Structures are given as C-alpha cells and as structure tokens.
Amino acid sequence: MRRHASDGIRTKPRRPAAKKHGTNKETQMAQYMCGPCGWIYDEELGDPEHGIAPGTKFEDIPDDWKCPECGVGKEDFYLLDFVI
C-alpha cells in the first residue's frame, strides 16, 4: 500500500476563484460595448462629455442616451464578459 505525506492530513477543500464578469474588481463597475462600433462604456468613467457622471451604472443612464461614437441606443450595448 502506497502512502503519501498528505495521508491523514485534513485540509479544507479549495474554493474556485471568484469570477468577475464585465466588472472592475476594485470598484464593481461594469463595462458595456457598443455592438456596431465597439465603443466601450465604462461605469467607472461614465461619459462626462455627454452628461453621464463617472460612477453611473449603465442601467441608470437615460433611455434616450446614444453611443457617442455611432449614435445607436442602449439596446445595442452588451455587457463585456471577461474573467479577471
């Protein structure tokens, strides 16, 4: 019977690392990409040139807001899905 140095030692099971999807780890701010042109709305930065203050959540942007690059509406943006 083979024995390992770890036999008899109980350890806590490892939890998988938390995944962050489309968010900045430190601020929990998401990023959304415009489908047609690729412009990125970063909640941390906002869009001050167009009246959207830094820290504004995407869902809190007025429904009539348009992509500053190509002019499409919010419905053409999607949450960036990446793992940090």
Which domains are present in the chain?
23-79 (2.20.28.10)
CB-based contact 82:22 (threshold 8 Å)? yes
The per-residue pLDDT of the chain, averaged, comes to 79
The predicted-structure confidence for 38-52, as pLDDT tens digits, reads as follows 999 999 999 999 999
Q: What is the pTM of this model?
A: 0.65
Phi, psi of 40 (to 5 degrees): -110, 125
